């Protein structure tokens, strides 16, 4: 039996790194302090190390050779999409970007179909944020905007914004509710969301407002409350949920957080999903300059934020989708419309999750079978521990592929 302390969980973007993992034989038998989501994420640590080409079982070298040939045939590789799914270490993400660069391919990640609105808002306006430790120490008023972290980020409150000593304001947008134990609630109809944000921002800035009815009057009061706080955290779910949201939400919240820094201090905190999704944006940004939607077809990275992977697939301009990471995290729109044989997956559980006609190569899972680094939801890096031995890593597989697939130059 082996025990590993201070292990990082990538079950959600909280990336809690206080997990004590016990391993017996080849299995994880406990993950102390992990939330239910984390316990599921660790599972028993079992991992397949198979590979297949369609339904034909092969070894990973054979599968990679076949994928290399298909890459060569993919219209000079310029109709190839390298796609960063979740559950990759930074090393895996670096290797994926390098391959896309070499192939003059398209490059994207799960971010373009999930958090693009927030990324683009921040590129237009900038942003005011804080790391989670800073929030825990400073915040006296927390606004949960249409999110209850307990649902998808179970330990967020416990670890980063404990309830005690804070005033909590829940803004419920339609059926999307904030925390049940909030000190104050504001119920907003979905169509009113941007108006409410504007009124809160104006009131917090001390601008005189004409008398407003109902929810807008309450919004003005909340604006004054925020302006008199010491440090405000505005928490929202940056990842897509089941309920539709106003496309202007991210920009409105960004503007509100920035504006609050004149009367007081404030930060916007976007909750992010697990599996080191943030890392994909970070690596793409430092290697290309862009956090998503990159086009290498000219030989240098171009930014195509209006052309996420899902749109390119829908337009029929992707001949080969190479997914690095956990295929189960890929949005349906990215896969829909691809023909048989146009998908290859290199990642944990690939042979069981990928379509029957795909090339699939199993790897270990980042943070369980592979050590390295991941980014927390607040852009802070956290080390990953390999608590179980793994077979192939995504980085190694992609490096092998890079040696096989001819570049277009």
In angstroms, rounded to a whole number, what is the distance separating the alpha carbons of residues 342 and 83? 13
Task: Convert 103-138 to b/e letters by CB count within 10 Å (16 or more is b).
Answer: bbbbbbbbbbbbbbbbbbbbeeeebbbbebeebeee
Q: Least CB distance from residue 124 to other proteins, whole Å? A: 7
Site for other proteins in 109-128 (CB under 8 A): 119, 122-128
The residues facing 270 across adjacent strands are 236
Q: Say how many C-beta atoms besides its own lie within 10 A of residue 209's C-beta.
A: 14
Q: Which is nearer to other proteins, 62 or 285 (CB)?
A: 285
Strands (E), 153-264: 167-173, 184-188, 231-237
Which residue in the set 298, 332, 339, 356 belongs to the binding site for other proteins (CB under 8 A)? 298
Site for other proteins in 153-212 (CB under 8 A): 159-160
3-state SS, 30-60, equals EEECCCHHHHHHHCCCCCCCCEEECCEEECH
In angstroms, rounded to a whole number, what is the distance separating the alpha carbons of residues 223 and 225? 5
Which residue in the set 42, 156, 231, 236 belongs to the binding site for other proteins (CB under 8 A)? 231
Site for other proteins in 310-369 (CB under 8 A): none
Q: Which is nearer to other proteins, 52 or 106 (CB)?
A: 106
Q: Least CB distance from residue 379 to other proteins, whole Å? A: 6
**Is there binding between residue 133 and other proteins (CB under 8 A)?**
yes
**Is there binding between residue 11 and other proteins (CB under 8 A)?**
no
In angstroms, rounded to a whole number, what is the distance separating the alpha carbons of residues 227 and 111? 32
Q: Which is nearer to other proteins, 128 or 168 (CB)?
A: 128
**Is there binding between residue 78 and other proteins (CB under 8 A)?**
no
Q: Which is nearer to other proteins, 126 or 206 (CB)?
A: 126
Burial class (CB in 10 A: 0-12, 13-18, 19+), 279: buried
Q: Least CB distance from residue 371 to other proteins, whole Å? A: 9
Which residue in the set 61, 62, 287, 391 belongs to the binding site for other proteins (CB under 8 A)? 287
Which residue in the set 72, 198, 285, 307 belongs to the binding site for other proteins (CB under 8 A)? 285
Q: Which is nearer to other proteins, 119 or 222 (CB)?
A: 119
In angstroms, rounded to a whole number, what is the distance separating the alpha carbons of residues 393 and 363? 5
Q: Which of helix, strand or coil describes residue 6?
A: strand
- Binding residues for other proteins, rule CB under 8 A, total 64
In angstroms, rounded to a whole number, what is the distance separating the alpha carbons of residues 250 and 268? 10
For the chain, how many residues are written?
A: 409
Per CB under 8 A, residues contacting other proteins are 5-6, 8, 17-18, 90, 94, 98, 101-102, 119, 122-134, 136-138, 159-160, 230-231, 258, 261-262, 264-265, 267, 281-282, 285-291, 296, 298-303, 305, 373, 375, 379-383, 402, 407, 409
């Amino acid at each position: 039996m082996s025990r590993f302390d201070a292990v990082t969980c990538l079950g959600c973007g909280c990336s809690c790194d206080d997990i004590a993992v016990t391993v017996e034989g080849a299995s994880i038998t406990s993950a102390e302090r992990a939330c239910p989501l984390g316990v599921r994420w660790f599972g028993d640590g079992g991992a397949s190390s198979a590979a297949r080409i369609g339904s034909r079982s092969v070894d990973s070298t054979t599968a990679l050779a076949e994928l290399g040939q298909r890459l060569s045939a993919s219209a000079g590789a310029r109709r190839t999409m390298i796609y960063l799914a979740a559950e990759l270490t930074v090393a895996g993400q670096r290797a994926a970007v390098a391959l896309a660069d070499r192939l003059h391919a398209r490059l994207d990640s799960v971010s373009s179909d999930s958090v693009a609105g927030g990324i683009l808002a921040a590129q237009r306006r900038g942003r005011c944020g804080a790391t989670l430790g800073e929030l825990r120490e400073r915040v006296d008023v927390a606004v949960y905007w249409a999110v209850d972290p307990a649902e998808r980020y179970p330990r967020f409150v416990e670890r980063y914004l404990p309830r005690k000593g804070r005033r909590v304001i829940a803004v419920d947008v339609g059926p999307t509710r904030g925390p049940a134990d909030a000190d104050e609630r504001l119920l907003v109809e979905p169509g009113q969301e941007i108006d409410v944000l504007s009124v809160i921002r104006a009131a917090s800035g001390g601008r005189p407002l004409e008398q407003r009815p109902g929810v807008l009057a309450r919004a003005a009061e909340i604006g004054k409350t925020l302006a008199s706080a010491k440090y405000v955290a505005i928490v929202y779910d940056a990842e897509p949920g089941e309920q539709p949201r106003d496309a202007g939400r991210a920009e409105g919240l960004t503007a509100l957080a920035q504006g609050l820094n004149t009367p007081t201090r404030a930060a916007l905190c976007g909750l992010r999903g697990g599996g080191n999704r943030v890392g994909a944006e970070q690596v793409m940004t430092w290697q290309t300059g862009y956090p998503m939607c990159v086009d290498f077809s000219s030989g240098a990275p171009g930014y195509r934020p209006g052309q996420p992977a899902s749109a390119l697939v829908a337009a029929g301009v992707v001949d080969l989708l190479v997914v690095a990471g956990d295929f189960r995290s890929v949005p349906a729109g990215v896969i829909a419309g691809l023909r048989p044989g146009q998908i290859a997956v290199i990642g944990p559980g690939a042979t069981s999750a990928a379509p029957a006609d795909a090339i699939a190569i199993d790897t270990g899972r980042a943070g369980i079978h592979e050590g390295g680094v991941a980014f927390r939801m607040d852009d802070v890096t956290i080390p990953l521990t390999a608590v179980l031995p793994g077979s192939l890593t995504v980085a190694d597989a992609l490096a092998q592929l890079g040696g096989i697939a001819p570049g277009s130059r």
